[in-house]
Amino acid sequence: MSTLPDTICACATSLPSPIAVIRVSGSETLELFSKVFKGFVYQPNRIQCVNLSLKPLSDEVMIWASSGPQTFTGEDYGELMVHGGPEWVRQVLKYLVSLGARLAEPGEFSYRAFLQGKISVSSALGIGAILNSKTQYDLAAIACLKNNQLHTLFVDTRQSVIRLHSALQMTLDYTEQGYETNEIGQEIKEAVVAFGAYLKKMHDTLGPLAQIAQTPTLVIAGEPNVGKSTLFNQVVGYDRALMSPIAGTTRDYISSPMSYEAFRFDLIDTAGLRETQDDLEKMGIQETESCLEKAQGIILVCDIQNLNLKKIERFCMLHSQPLWILGNKADLCNDHQITNFKNTLSQLALTFSHMRYSLCSLKEKNLSSTELLPHLTSNMDSGCVTPGSFPEPVRTVCEDLLSQGHTCVDEIQKQNYDLGHMLLDRIRPKLALLTGEIKDEAIYDHLFASFCLGK
């Protein structure tokens, strides 16, 4: 069955929810179910209602299991459907881990399916694109990934490259030996036309997909005078936003393109959220709300001295994007206020799984962007600052392939066969990477790590 050494588990649904789905995959899945549920009898693909007893609670759960390789991951696989309370799900996962399972990494179920040959690179890109889709247009563009049209195009293009490469190799060899190459020359003409047609089709197919991968936005929000502009300037690295102790100074949003390691995103500083009678400030707050709706990630800055739990809780309910709550002005707080902030936010994190939190003193630390960005990205879910549904390394491979491909066609048509042959040598491994015939662990790790936990 499984060729991988361990069995993994993860919750595949957001919490809280009426029903939570816990996925389990690996060679010990069926044995694990036997340990968890007394009297469990393996019945392939049949849902069973069983009792799960974890002191002090006992509850009925629905389970089903199937042996590999006829599963999504290609391994022994099962699912538990339990009531979706965050603490109950956490206890179930904790119990599975105590019996020998391991908590899965983001995208690991799909990664295992890829390693077992159950899905192609194109299908994996399709899964990631669906997870990041925001409009009906996105879904239409994604269809070619999910139904393997793009995979078929990659395979056909690679075959045309092999044909063209062989014809060029024969021409170069025969020319060196003084033989006539008229027939081979005709083969080159036909092969280069076919390769050019596949490149055009690939360009037309990848175009709409590139639109899905628009630069994501990371929005800084919060009440007036809590340190939003200070945070923005420190991340950007210079005084881009106007700072003032007067509440309501920022009336319009300010954005700055940012990059950190493989991530690209727009950081946006917004007007403070509050009730106001000032018409101009109202317009700024409306722009803030619009930015929040479109954001892929949010940093909510709070003043620890004036913590309003109800407002934070309401904010978490209204915004389902990955959220990082930053408690600022820690230098002005006593130990009781800091402890209260930590305890309050830790309890809130049990209810809202998309939320993370930390505290700092922006004024006192004066963090530079190089110090703050690792802290930002480490506290954010991967969905916040990923470069879009088409991961950066894969996009780079596609862009290089198209660029070198068009150059190759031009050079061969000019009968610069040596240069064309050299470019084909560079193109072939790129296509083999996109078809999955060559494995690049770094690229595939980046691709699947952009998936959510449990996928």
Q: What is the CATH number of the domain that holds 25?
A: 3.30.1360.120
| Count of domains for the chain | 3
Query: Residue type for 306, please?
Result: N
Residues 312 and 221 in one domain: yes
Residues 12 and 128 in one domain: no
pLDDT of residue 270: 82
Give the domain range for residue 82. Answer: 8-104
Task: Report CA-CA distances (Å) from 413 to 170, 191, 264.
Answer: 17, 11, 38
Residues 46 and 164 in one domain: no
Query: Which of 104, 135, 150 delimits the end of a domain?
Result: 104
Residues 403 and 300 in one domain: no
Is the pLDDT at 439 greater than 80? The verdict is no
pLDDT of residue 81: 94
Question: Of 55-69, 109-123, 244-258, 420-434, which range is least confident?
Answer: 244-258
Residues 204 and 223 in one domain: no
Residues 326 and 222 in one domain: yes
Q: What is the CATH number of the domain that holds 405?
A: 1.20.120.430
pLDDT band at 101 (very low <50, low <70, confident <90, very high): very high
Residues 260 and 334 in one domain: yes
Residues 201 and 250 in one domain: no
d(CA 11, CA 34): 20
Mean pLDDT of 14-28: 92
Residues 22 and 51 in one domain: yes
DSSP E strand boundaries for 319-426: 323-328, 355-359
Classify residue 318: in a domain, yes or no: yes
The answer to whether 443 and 424 are in contact (CB under 8 A) is: no
Q: What are phi and psi of 118, to 5 degrees?
A: -85, -25
Classify residue 3: in a domain, yes or no: no
The predicted-structure confidence for 120-153, as pLDDT tens digits, reads as follows 887 887 777 777 665 555 566 566 666 777 888 8
Query: Residue type for 289, please?
Result: E
Question: Of 11-25, 243-257, 388-402, which range is least confident?
Answer: 243-257
The predicted-structure confidence for 196-253, as pLDDT tens digits, reads as follows 888 888 887 776 555 445 567 788 888 887 878 888 887 776 665 554 555 455 556 6
Q: What are phi and psi of 358, to 5 degrees?
A: -165, 170
How many residues in total does the chain contain? 455
Q: Specify which of 17-26, 51-60, 235-244, 363-372 reaches the highest per-range mean pLDDT.
A: 17-26
Residue (of 196, 226, 6, 32) closest to 104 by Cα position: 6
Residues 223 and 95 in one domain: no
Residues 256 and 342 in one domain: yes
Residues 205 and 293 in one domain: no
d(CA 150, CA 105): 27
d(CA 267, CA 317): 22
Instruction: Verify cis geometry, omega within 30 degrees of 0, for the bond prior to 56.
Output: yes
Query: Which of 378, 398, 420 delimits the end of a domain?
Result: 378
d(CA 46, CA 38): 17
